[in-house]
Amino acid sequence: SGLLFTPLVDTPVITTWHGDLAADACSPERRRLLESFRRVPTTAISRSQRASAAVHLHFVGTVHNGITIERFPFTATPGHSLCWLGRITEKKGILEAIAVARRLRLPLKIGGKIDTVDRDFFRQRVRHLIDGRRIHYLGELTHRQKVKLLRHARCLLNPITWNEPFGLVMAEAMACGTPVVAFPRGAAPEIVAHGQTGYLVSSVAQMAAAVRQVGQIHRAACRRRVERLFSATKMADGYERVYERVLKFRRK
């Protein structure tokens, strides 16, 4: 990591942490690393990530992640199926998403990678729930397949059970015009505008109720929010402002 070499150069260096900085997610090794470089100028990718950091770092700004919007074509007409997209691991809420689909008797299309560490979880907790009739597992998707899934979904379910530092899939779905129904963990409240681009709910029952109301969300509003707040250009502008702030402080 370039972080390790920051004491050896005169050029200001800014570090962006993309992972979970909360105390319960930091190994002793990571915590020692954070402690050792706590004075290095640092940016967060969400206010949630910044607020939950186990170590008091020298944050000089918060810059949300951005996407290349042109790679996510807008679709005005929703499909019938629900969708879930992400790494298939327990804290991403795959079991909760399946529970919502079964409660509503709606099809759920699942796209996701299964890492080695999560294979037992998939075999023991998830695989028997995939029936090929209502619950469909599509496997790990290419970009083109992912966009097709998001564009033609009624909504994206994102019942995360951890404080995810950002959550690009929510911005990707909204860029396609697809509302997001999520648990209000991590950065979800910073990404989803409740009642405007989706809903933030706290249980499977509430998520099912929100899905019934998702037709009230204007898909064009989802797209506009991403264009305004989560584009690659917006992200680049944010980093430029942080760089200018650090350089200005250094010149004083």
d(CA 91, CA 113): 14
If pLDDT is split at 50, 70 and 90, which confidence band does 8 have?
confident
**What local confidence, expressed as pLDDT, does residue 167 receive?**
97
Q: What is the average pLDDT value for the chain, to the nearest integer?
A: 94
d(CA 119, CA 222): 34
Measured between alpha carbons, how far is residue 198 from residues 23, 188, 201, 207, 222 in Å? 30, 11, 10, 11, 8
If pLDDT is split at 50, 70 and 90, which confidence band does 33 have?
confident
- What are 40-49's pLDDT values in tens digits? 899 999 999 9
Beginning with the edge strand found earlier in the chain, give each strand of the sheet holding 82-85 in spatial order. 135-137, 108-111, 82-85, 155-158, 180-182, 198-200
If pLDDT is split at 50, 70 and 90, which confidence band does 11 have?
confident
Calculate what percentage of the chain has a pLDDT beyond 90: 81
pLDDT, average across residues 227-249:
94
92 pLDDT above the threshold of 90: yes
Q: What is the DSSP letter of 219?
A: H
- What are 182-224's pLDDT values in tens digits? 999 999 999 999 999 999 999 999 999 999 999 999 999 999 9
- What are 129-145's pLDDT values in tens digits? 999 999 999 999 999 99
Higher pLDDT, 29 or 111: 111
Phi/psi for 170 (5° steps) reads -70, -45
d(CA 172, CA 69): 8
**What local confidence, expressed as pLDDT, does residue 251 receive?**
57
Give just the sign of the alpha carbon dihedral 219, 47, 44, 29: negative
Q: How many helices (H) and strands (E) does the chain have?
A: 10, 9
If pLDDT is split at 50, 70 and 90, which confidence band does 252 have?
low
pTM, two decimal places: 0.94
Q: Please report, as a single letter, which amino acid is at residue 13.
A: V
**What local confidence, expressed as pLDDT, does residue 1 receive?**
60
